[in-house]
Amino acid sequence: MAISPFEERYKTEMNGILDDRHKMERWMDVEIALAKAHAKLGTIPKDAVKQIQEGKKKVRFERIIEIESQIHHDLMAMVKALSEQCGDAGRYVHLGATSYDIEDTATALIFMEAVDLLDKHLDELAKVLKALALTHKNAVCMGRSHGQHAVPTTYGLKFALYYQDLLRNRERLAEARKRIAVGKMSGAVGTMATFGEHAFEIQSLVMKELGIQPAKVTNQVVQRDRHAEVLFVLALIAAGLEKIAKEIRNLQRTEIMEISEPFSAKQVGSSTMPQKRNPHKSERICSIARLIRANVITALENIALEHERDLTNSANERAIFGESFIGVDYMLLQINGILSDLRFYPENIKRNLDLTHGLIMSERLMIALTEKGVGRQEAHEKVRTLAQKAFNEKKELKDLIKSENLFSDAELGKLFDYGTYTGQAAKDVYHSLF
């Protein structure tokens, strides 16, 4: 039985990138790159590389676990398991390296794969948001501030806003990818002593083989600000997805019910209340976002390791890296599914626009009064007074201002037409998408 929900319940394609088997594969890839560098410089026989490459194909994950149970060191367990399969070339596996030369370099490769998968799913979501923004660019709805009805807006503008949020996060993710794509072959405490006069060449050759850059300087580990930056960007992405999910949750409230998550024919909302249509997918997104944010704190604390390194980052990184990447990937897949089949209720959207008897057009009315020669402050006070009366007496604001004989019926009809008071919303949508 899985302990973490990310092992089964929230499992995605990302699990294959972050799991221990793939990590061991990447560790061995770094070992092979190191052997190639040594062979090129003549510090080990050239045919040793092929033996190590062939040895990797024969290594069983179960054997690594078996050795680790005896020696209590996972990296060294991999080295021993690989060496067993390399014949005489086994003596050259891990030559000159310390554990985190292999681990941190492999982590960069894994992070790059994980980022690329996330970006693929972000791109898919961007297309969905763009389509929604275009489809609903003129769909007038109630704009709200402080939870109160404000003035009309459009659903297109909402989705355009989310689209731009997503683009910024894609840019941040690309920048973080650049800074995480580094490795090291600097040995214990970072002095490169074990690699001798060929140290910089070995490091350069290894990183070139793996397609990443050598870190400019390290101690025994690649510095953890790089990893913290990636997790912070993941938290920003999670917060952006939560932003969308929270809006869906609020707009799905029974009293509002303008949009909702898709709800299948056999879906159950509650074990005791058969009528319930809970926005549980959106709520789950908001819940996981809290975990992703919390992991950033741990990643930040990992930056200040003692002296040239300690091991206080190691145990928690086994949790926070996987949780954060898998969690965000799951959130992306969920929100994509929700938005691709989002339900709209036009009659409720119209009902909510009409709910306050025209009060949402108070701002427009105030501006119209100034155009009639009324001072701005006087106009504000007049409309405020009439709005209070309309609210208290449940009367239409349009009828109350009509009795003032300041506007013709045609002018009032235009002033209280919600669809003509969305400003540049439609143009904003186009500007944000193209």
Closest to 34 (Cα-Cα) out of 110, 86, 98:
98
Q: E strand or H helix at 24, and its extent? A: helix 20-41
Dist CA 38 CA 433 (whole Å): 51
Which residues participate in catalysis according to the annotation?
146, 270
| Exposure of 299 in the CB half-sphere (CA atoms within 13 A) | 25
**Phi-psi bin for 196: left (phi > 0), alpha (psi -120 to 50), beta?**
left
CA distances from 302 to 17, 74, 235, 312, 352 (A): 22, 20, 17, 7, 49
Dist CA 62 CA 65 (whole Å): 5
Residue with structure tokens 């108070």? 362
Q: Which amino acid is at 104?
A: D
Burial bucket for residue 328 (CB in 10 Å: 0-12, 13-18, 19+): buried
User: Phi and psi for 278 in degrees, rounded to 5?
Assistant: -70, 140
Per-residue H/E/C for 344-359: ECHHHHHHHHHCCCCH
